[in-house]
Amino acid sequence: MPTEALAFDWLARHLLARADLGHSLSSPTPPDGLAALRHHALVEAARQGDRPSPERIPRLGRPVRTFDRAAEDMAMPRFVERRHDRVLHEAVRACAAGASRMVTLIGPVGSGKSRSTMEAFRELPSDWWLWEPRGSADLAAVLDGGAEIPSHTAIWLDPGERYLLGRSEGRTGAHLAAGLRRVLRETDGGPVLVLASLRPEDWSLLTAGPRSDGTNPYVLPRTLCEEGLVIHSQPSYDTATLDHFRFGPPAARAFVTAALDARHFGHGPVMSEQLLIDAARGYLDGRTPPLPPADFSSAVLRRMGLYRLPRATDESDYPESVPTYYRLSDYMEQYAKDPFRRLAPPGTLWDALAEHASNPELDRIGRTARNFGHSEQAERFRELARSDRAQRSALARQEKQARALRARLQRADPTSPDVRNAADEALDWLRADDRTESAQYVLNGLLLRTGLPRDLMAETIRHALDWLMVHEDAPYAGFVLGPLLRIATLPREQAHWIVNRTVKWLRLHGGRGSAAFVLRPALLRGDLSRAHAAAVADVALAWLEQHGSRPSETSVLSATLRRDGLAPESRTRIFAFGIAWLRKAGDRPRPNSFSARCCNVST
């Protein structure tokens, strides 16, 4: 029923005439009938508000104010606002003001996620509509149907795992997440709100990273959530952990605070010890002992919610060469992201992040710094990320050149002048970049190239020794150590230096499959001391026990059997392994004179 006067008057006359009440379109309308009709029209208009006609603009769900009335009819107990509710209400108000966004509310069963969401929807103006899809198929039908989701629509995904983790019939979580991202980015005319509720275990699954096969089906759902706002509805911090943190030793407290702030500002969950030491200096006062203090035991840090990660490499011989990493407990991870935690990051935190963060982390730290008003630091990390990308691009080009030189050295005909030309070009490259990681490829190609003039080989060996001074503890150093050990004419001092580095490298990386490339030439050298020979043989036996099915097993085993002068204990272990290998090998090809060598070892 129209409320505009002229339109209403015409329609009233028309209806009275149609009702056969003795009136025509030209006769006057009775004032009482006109007043009654107009009264009902105005009441209907007031009840409908400014909602657009469904025939003109298709809407999803129901008006949000009917949702409010339904919530009131449920006679819920009085709502007690918590800290996360204030954050949620602020996010909903910001969306209503014109900024489309995704909000993910995380909390265990019974934590009040639904009630918090219902109360937050009260912040939406009366022209908003609320849509609760019946499942992923219902949501996919709208997202894939080509029709736009109207502005001023709130989409409630509860429970969120049905949609983000694909736990209902229909499209996968990745497909739905891509559609929702498109809606949030492309909606014209007004904002759209998407609010999902998740349990902590589902959030952990969503953010767990790639599976063992390298696939990650939740990349897009995780990106959708992290591009918006993630709120933990019940932080439920471990009171004992927080008490240990707040009242713990000052130096350890500074160490943990540095970890909390590093995570808050965008560093990844795994943090190096050196990063935390460098950052923690700015959290200490003049009365606190310098880092690292005596009370820096792992037990103290564990009680404060910071855990030292186990090292993947045996650290008994060279602990200083294996980096130490830490990670916050789940409770302290939540505490690090608490928007109400007081933040006062010192300059040492920014300096440590700039020194130790990876390129993806540099980008993230810059964005977080900007969001928290640290514009100078935001610009700093933006420039660092840009320069790091340029540096990585240059390193990639450098590695490509090095690999090409190695391939050319391998292909060159030993009898043609091309060998000398390729070697000269490779040495020119080394003279400019002999300390870089990529130099391993050029050095490997030169050291394995037979027929090089003595002067070129001598220069190559000098470059290799200089390179090892920088990279001797790296896993890839074996790519240079292996060819060096094959050179029987090394001067005595150089040979001794190389063997020392080889033993150290094997203690660090001898468990790797690629260690066979170093083990065999080391075992075959005739200038090993008794101690060096025993150390290499021990690593070789451990390697054989771990990698018994590898094709390179035969080469390591035969070299071990040829090793003379070993201690009786080592000889016994070699014999036992050799016999076991013989029984297992069956008809497989055996090392030359295998049985004879076993007999020699056993006597």
> Is residue 213 over pLDDT 90?
no
Assess contact for 444 and 407: CB atoms under 8 A.
no
What H or E segment, with its residue span, contains residue 200?
A: helix 200-206
> Is residue 70 over pLDDT 50?
no
CA distance 577 to 548: 10
Comparing 596 with 407, the larger pLDDT belongs to 407
Mean pLDDT of all residues in 296-306: 84
> Is residue 50 over pLDDT 50?
no
pLDDT in tens, 103-143: 999 887 666 788 888 888 888 888 888 988 888 888 888 88
> Of 74-88, 334-348, 419-433, which has the strongest mean pLDDT?
419-433
> Is residue 202 over pLDDT 90?
no
Residue 29 confidence (pLDDT): 47
Q: Quote the percentage of the chain above a pLDDT of 70.
A: 73
- Name which of 333-342, 422-431, 497-506 the model is least confident about: 333-342
Which segments within 85-138 are labelled E, that is strand? 101-106, 129-131
Which segments within 523-587 are labelled E, that is strand? none
In this prediction the pTM is 0.40
Mean pLDDT of all residues in 43-47: 52
Residue 147 confidence (pLDDT): 63
Using pLDDT thresholds of 50, 70 and 90, give the confidence band for residue 10.
Answer: low
What H or E segment, with its residue span, contains residue 43?
A: helix 31-48
Single-letter amino acid, residue 112? G
Contacts of 128 (CB under 8 A, 6+ apart): 63, 64, 96, 152, 153, 154
CA distance 274 to 253: 16
Please give, one letter per residue, the 3-state secondary structure of 349-388.
Answer: HHHHHHHHCCHHHHHHHHHHHHHCCCHHHHHHHHHHHHHH
pLDDT in tens, 561-603: 777 766 777 677 777 777 776 676 655 555 444 444 554 544 4
> Is residue 43 over pLDDT 60?
no
Domain positions in the chain: 5-48, 62-208+216-232, 239-357, 472-603
Rounded mean pLDDT of the chain?
Answer: 78
Mean pLDDT of all residues in 297-324: 66
Tell me the helices (H) and strands (E) count for the chain, helix number first.
28, 9
Residue 17 confidence (pLDDT): 59
pLDDT in tens, 488-503: 888 888 999 999 999 9
> Is residue 519 over pLDDT 60?
yes
Which superfamily is assigned to 62-208+216-232 in CATH?
Answer: P-loop containing nucleotide triphosphate hydrolases (3.40.50.300)
> Of 365-379, 413-427, 572-586, which has the strongest mean pLDDT?
365-379
> Is residue 384 over pLDDT 70?
yes
CA distance 61 to 281: 55
Single-letter amino acid, residue 353? L
- Identify the CA nearest to 498 among candidates 486, 509, 508: 486
